[in-house]
Amino acid sequence: MRLHVVSVQFVAAETLRTNGGKRRHSLIWLVMAVAAALVPASGTPIVNLASASSFGLLGGTISNTGTSVVMGNVGVKDASGTITGFNPTGTTVGGSVLAPGSTASNNAYTDFVNAFNAALLLPSTQSYPDLTMNRTFIGNNVYTFTLTNISTTTGINLTFDAQNNPNEVFVIRTAGAFTANGALTFTLQNQAQANNIYWIIGTDATVSVGSSGPITFEGDILAGQSFTMSAASGGSGVLAGTINGCVFAETANTLAGTTDVNGCSGNATAGVPEPGSLGLVSLGMLLGILARREFRFRISS
């Protein structure tokens, strides 16, 4: 929602020409300040998952080899897709494993692909050469890399700084593949939220635990091809890790090991802060008072 402050400025100019204009000057500028505050901040990256936000896993196919737990729905793109390793092995919380060909999962897959393609077109605002050392990401930026395929180095930390605004969005985008190797830690500071972190992976996304033990990965993963979560040395019963986000892949989406996927947190449209109801009510009341006073002045004159 965008309010046109220009129209308020016109009212201000007209009322200031009247004899009672000075008396209403502070009220008018207060209205303008409220209106300006309700306009969403520009420059915020927008990743609109729409109906896909109710899903924890989406893919062309989905397979799970451990006792994974997924928050939200699990679904594939159409009737040709397959889902294996759920009920009774993997389970869902707050959602269901939808049969291939269901309208809900078909629509959600389409919304995911649309969000992914739109995110590819977002202009890059920051760049790093790679992820071989500790990196800091500042909110409301689109980060890209000079290398096509990105791999992390074991033991690094990734910091996400929301600058004391929990609505700030982080888009981390690769042109090719992304691989998280071994131990990897995240620091979310100054009110950064995992559901506002988007990993836009051009091709294949892989989280490889190796011998480092389970890790916690922060953010939603949207992959242009496949996703694989692996527990290399532990087999199907070993915890590979936790993903604080949803995991979508256009082709195969594989949990090769026990993985907890905590879902999108219902974040259908990140990066578009809506005006609160209190702000709208306040603005309406102020405009009403202004209109009433103007009307009374015109009657009396």
pLDDT tens, position by position, 49-83? 999 999 999 999 999 988 899 999 999 999 999 99
C-beta of residue 109 within 8 angstroms of C-beta of residue 52: yes
pLDDT of residue 39: 37
pLDDT of residue 30: 40
Scored b (16 or more CB within 10 A) or e, 75-89 reads bbbeeebebebbeee
Minimum mean pLDDT range among 211-220, 221-230, 236-245? 236-245
Q: Which of 215, 224, 261, 216 is nearest to 149 (CA)?
A: 224
Contact 221, 246 (CB under 8 A): yes
Which stretch of 89-98, 99-108, 163-172, 236-245 has the lowest confidence by average pLDDT? 236-245
What pLDDT sits at residue 128? Answer: 98
Coil/strand/helix, residue 47? strand
- Per DSSP, 32 falls in state H
Whether the pLDDT of residue 32 is over 50: the answer is no
Tokens of 132: 């071989």
Confidence class of residue 232 from pLDDT cuts 50, 70 and 90?
low
Residue of 276 and 109 predicted with greater confidence = 109
CA–CA gap between residue 194 and residue 220 (Å, rounded): 8
Cβ neighbours of residue 186 closer than 8 Å, sequence gap 6 or more: 157, 158, 159, 160, 216, 217, 218
Contact between 273 and 166 under an 8 Å Cβ cutoff? The reply is no
Query: Which residues make beta-bridge pairs with 200?
Result: 173, 222
The more confidently predicted of residues 166 and 234 is: 166
Q: pTM value?
A: 0.76
Q: What percent of the chain has pLDDT over 90?
A: 61
C-beta separation of 72 from 95 below 8 A: yes
**Residues 6 or more apart whose Cβ sits within 8 Å of residue 167:** 44, 196, 271, 273
Q: Which whole-number Å values give the CA distances from 280 to 2, 11, 35, 241, in the listed order? A: 12, 19, 9, 43
The mean-pLDDT minimum among 21-35, 83-97, 114-128 falls in 21-35
Give the pLDDT mean for 104-116: 98
Q: CA angle, 189 as apex, 184 and 195 as ends, to 5°?
A: 75
The single-letter code of the amino acid at 296 is R
